[in-house]
Structure 1
Amino acid sequence: MRRLEALRRAGIVERIDADQWRIPDDLVSRAAAHDAGRDSQASVRVLSPVDLNKQIGSDGATWLDRRLIHGETADLAPTGFGQQVREAMDQRREHHIEQGDATRSRDSRVFYRRNLLAILREREVVGVGSDMALSKGLPFRAATDGESVSGKFTGTVHLSSGKFAVVEKSHEFTLVPWRPIIDRQLGREVMGIVQGGSVSWQLGRQRGLER
């Protein structure tokens, strides 16, 4: 009875009264298809926490930028979400040309600035850091590659370029790429070295660097 009730809720069988059911001739195949759909689990992967429209005019390094630089379009469907991504990539490309971050040759090929992703990431961090400085009443200083940073880990911010940790000193603060390893250090003093768009953290009394 429970099986029939489940199939009724799925619209496969129909209950006429307390003891009678209307069962289709293809019950076995339809029930099997129902079970397969119920048992299967969709695999969902987050490509970017920032929606496509916001990425088009973003100051930061976006998922669209990585696809543009590497010329990744073969996996995009011609319709649906794939089409939306293609259109967003076209608009993002034009944005870079308008901003001087890319050029189009006479044969319509597009060339992007060298190290564009790093440039965009730095540009966004500086812009957001400057805005935060006004609200925090504390000067912002951008960390440079190879620099050692230290201070209290006070929180995180989500940018188009990724998630960043806020590290504060008494006279200034900075934003550096976040990594899960420092989450448990919230509110504590941290120290690390900025290297190639990431940070190697030295936490507490640990020896060595946490990459």
Structure 2
Amino acid sequence: MNLDAKGGGKVRFIIDGTDGYVSTVETGMDTRAGEAAKVGSIIEVSPPSLRTVDRNIQALAIGKDYHGKPRDGLIGNYAIATSGPDDWTDGRGSRGAAHIRAHRLRLATLAEAGVVEVVSQDKDGDPYEWRVPKDFEQRAIALDMKQGRASGVKLLSVQDLEAQLDSQGSTWLDRSQVSWSKGAIDQMCSNQSAFAKELDAAFRRRQSWLMQRGYAQARPDGTVSYQRGYVKALEQEGFSAATQKLEGITGKPFIAAQAGRLIEGTVKQKYELTQGPHALIETQRAFYLVPWESAHVQRWGKRIKGRVLSGGGIDWDAGRNRGIGR
């Protein structure tokens, strides 16, 4: 894949596809692919579709309310809250709060663009109920396409194939090994595609690497079995290597984000790992490395505070009020 041009809020890629054709595709600069992909990165191109939050909004709009009556396109805060994690009811639920916040932010964007209509507001003047049109799917996708966010371009790996072959951390080749072994990836490839042949050779070489490391082994029937949890183990290896490198760069020790810990520091850097982007959060004496979230964009260069959850993830709204309105 070659980066052709950037401009106008979009990124244009020239791609060598597994179908044997060279083509171009565009995506928004603020998408994951538009922001991080580079020459040699692996991307997947598919028809535009609803984002996850939009699928839930649509499902609520055509579903039934608490009393079993059709909503007929009308949804409110309570419906949104009860469609997600149930921990919002205890007053400390962060997953439920994040679910509500994501839906309200998306609905605000949709309302501003005229895709949905605000029907009522709470006592503070904030939107409380929305009317979702019957053609919501088409209109939501059209809005995303207009903003350059619905091109169907998905970033599979920032690394090119050569870099993945000897990577200490988990790679797209590792995550796709089982599918490749079963022939699922071959079905998407043209036998005449140079990239498909390169891809097949890369999978074989990475498979040998995994076998040498004890993450896979050959069976008597000629097939290969993979150690359970091998991708997670590789992720941890890569993460440990990254923190050691950053300790040398920053001159500060790394602190693990253990459950219950309150993380407080300055968002300093977006650091790419093979499993995805992470935020480098520094204090005066140490640093944390945590999965990247939209909250880090909003607090770039500023202090941020969050509580590590026992079930995984971090509550970046720690200490804030979490009501559902009215």
TM-score clears 0.5: yes
Q: For the residues of structure 2 that align with 1:178 and 1:194, how far apart are their CA atoms?
A: 16
Q: Among 162, 169, 188, which residue is 2:303 paired with? A: 188
Change (3 A) 1:47 1:120: same
- 1:118 CA displacement: 1.5
Supply the AA of the counterpart residue of 1:118.
Answer: K
1:75 aligns with 2:184: no
Q: Among 255, 272, 281, which residue is 1:167 paired with? A: 281
- 1:129 CA displacement: 0.6
Change (3 A) 1:154 1:89: same
Change (3 A) 1:47 1:59: same
1:151 aligns with 2:264: yes
Partners of 1:143 and 1:194 within 8 A in 2: no
**Partner SS for 1:163:** strand
Q: Which residue of 2 aligns with 1:179?
A: 293
Supply the AA of the counterpart residue of 1:150.
Answer: I
1:62 aligns with 2:163: no
- 1:92 CA displacement: 0.8
Q: How does 1:71-150 map to 2 (within 5 A)?
A: 71=180, 72-73=184-185, 74-78=187-191, 79-144=193-258, 146=259, 148=261, 150=263
Partners of 2:217 and 2:225 within 8 A in 1: yes
Q: For the residues of structure 1 that align with 2:179 and 2:251, how far apart are their CA atoms?
A: 40
Taking only the aligned residue pairs, the percentage that are identical comes to 24
- 1:201 CA displacement: 3.2
Q: For the residues of structure 2 that align with 1:107 and 1:120, how far apart are their CA atoms?
A: 27
**Partner SS for 1:143:** coil
- 1:68 CA displacement: 0.6
Q: Which residue of 1 aligns with 2:160?
A: 51
Partners of 1:76 and 1:86 within 8 A in 2: no
Change (3 A) 1:82 1:183: same
Partners of 2:215 and 2:227 within 8 A in 1: yes
Higher relative contact order (CA 8 A, sep 6+): 2
Change (3 A) 1:65 1:207: farther
Cα RMSD, aligned residues only: 2.6
Partners of 1:97 and 1:103 within 8 A in 2: yes
Q: For the residues of structure 2 that align with 1:147 and 1:170, how far apart are their CA atoms?
A: 21
Partners of 2:307 and 2:318 within 8 A in 1: no
Change (3 A) 1:122 1:105: same
Give the total of aligned pairs.
167
- 1:107 CA displacement: 1.8
Q: Normalised by the size of structure 2, how large is the TM-score? A: 0.46
Partners of 2:257 and 2:308 within 8 A in 1: no
Change (3 A) 1:66 1:201: same
Q: For the residues of structure 2 that align with 1:200 and 1:94, how far apart are their CA atoms?
A: 37
Partners of 1:149 and 1:194 within 8 A in 2: no
Which structure's CA Rg is the greater one?
A: 1
**Partner SS for 1:189:** strand
After superposition, the C-alpha distances for 1:35-56 in whole angstroms (9 at most, x for unaligned) are xxxxx97465333211011011
| Runs of at least 5 residues in structure 2 that lack an aligned partner in the other structure | 1-22, 27-44, 46-152
Q: Which residue of 2 aligns with 1:201?
A: 315
Supply the AA of the counterpart residue of 1:110.
Answer: V
- 1:158 CA displacement: 0.9
| Runs of at least 5 residues in structure 1 that lack an aligned partner in the other structure | 1-39
